[in-house]
Amino acid sequence: MIEAQNINFAYRRGIPVLTDINCKIEDGEFIALLGHNGSGKTTLSRLFMALMHPRSGNILVDGNDINGLEPADLADKIGYVFQNPDLQILADTVFDEVAYGPRIKKLSEEQVQAQTEENLKVMGLEDLTTSYPRLLSFGQKRRLGVATALALNPNTLILDEITNGQDAFEKNKMMEYLSVLNKERGMTIILISHDMNIIRRYTKRAIVLKDGSIVYDGATEQLFNGEFPVESWGLRKPLISQLTTAFGVAADTIEAFCDKLIKGGEK
């Protein structure tokens, strides 16, 4: 569980970047962190994993205040995948990349082997163990980033704009892997993304930041029901929401929408 209590944060120049942030993320949630560029999403997620600390307020991870802790202290609780996959790559093979954390932690080589193989498999990279990480496709690098973040068995994953620049096939594949982690391992997933189609399909709850304040915290489904000024929050309505609004047909998926439209059915 991650809890932010009255968080305020500013970088060096002192301009407020986060103002009075209060939120609680429960174990096992699949949650979206949304907002226009510069709204504070990356900053908030960095605070969650103690890369920086708030000017005032507290962040609790599993009930403990993390003020004074370092990222390494939280590495087996929270895994973080950076916006730029190249920044994270350290090793010469895919296997060594994912094994890096567990080796530093001095797990036995057998444990390292078992854990690494498992995490590579979860991300669909089991056939690439000896490949040079920098030569992977963009989508594969992304999945490698996630596999690396999984290496220390965290119960929470924070993914910062990892679906950017991926084609639909790679993106869906990634999302399906994440879905499995969430459903089968009960992993908490915090997804920062501008892809509202993905957000609507996979996340149950969304927190929206605008200029460093929370303007929405609730069900993802409600976010796009027409009541909220989502465009002014920098969010593009998901395709399905645009279609259902334009045609006045209620449907949860494109398939259901087409079905109803073709049958000329229920409005």
Ligand X SMILES: Nc1ncnc2c1ncn2[C@@H]1O[C@H](COP(=O)(O)OP(=O)(O)O)[C@@H](O)[C@H]1O
- Residue owning tokens 């030569």: 135
Q: How far is the CB of 18 from ligand X (least distance, A)?
A: 8
- From its phi and psi, is residue 20 left (phi > 0), alpha (psi between -120 and 50) or beta? left
Residues between 9 and 48 with contacts to ligand X, criterion CB under 6 A = 11, 17, 35, 37-43
**Residue 124 burial by Cβ neighbours in a 10 Å radius (0-12, 13-18, 19+):** middle
87 binds ligand X (CB under 6 A): no
- Whose CA is closest to 83, among 216, 208, 194? 194
| Residue count, binding to ligand X (CB under 6 A) | 10
Which residue's CB is nearer to ligand X, number 43 or number 163?
Answer: 43
Using CB under 5 A as the binding rule, whether residue 42 contacts Mg ion is answered as yes
Looking at the Cβ atoms of 51 and 256, the one nearer to Mg ion is: 51
> Is residue 182 at the binding interface for ligand X, with CB under 6 A as the rule?
no
Q: In angstroms, what is the minimal distance from the CB of 39 to ligand X? A: 4
Quote the tokens at residue 132: 């040079």
In the complex, least distance from residue 248 CB atom to ligand X, rounded to whole angstroms = 34
45 binds Mg ion (CB under 5 A): no
Q: For residues 264 and 267, what is the distance between their CA atoms, to the nearest angstrom?
A: 8
Give the rounded distance of the alpha carbon of 228 from its chain centre. Answer: 23
What stretches of the chain show up as alpha helix (H) in DSSP? 41-48, 71-74, 94-104, 109-122, 138-150, 168-184, 196-202, 220-223, 239-247, 254-263
* 52 lies in the binding site for ligand X (CB under 6 A): no
Choose the contact partner of 35 out of ligand X, Mg ion, none; CB within 5 to 8 A by kind. Answer: ligand X
The nearest distance, CB 37 to Mg ion, in angstroms, is: 7
Q: Kindly report the number of other CB atoms within 10 A of residue 111's CB atom.
A: 12
- Any contact of residue 132 with ligand X (CB under 6 A)? no
Least separation in angstroms between CB 74 and Mg ion: 19
Residues binding Mg ion (CB under 5 A)? 42
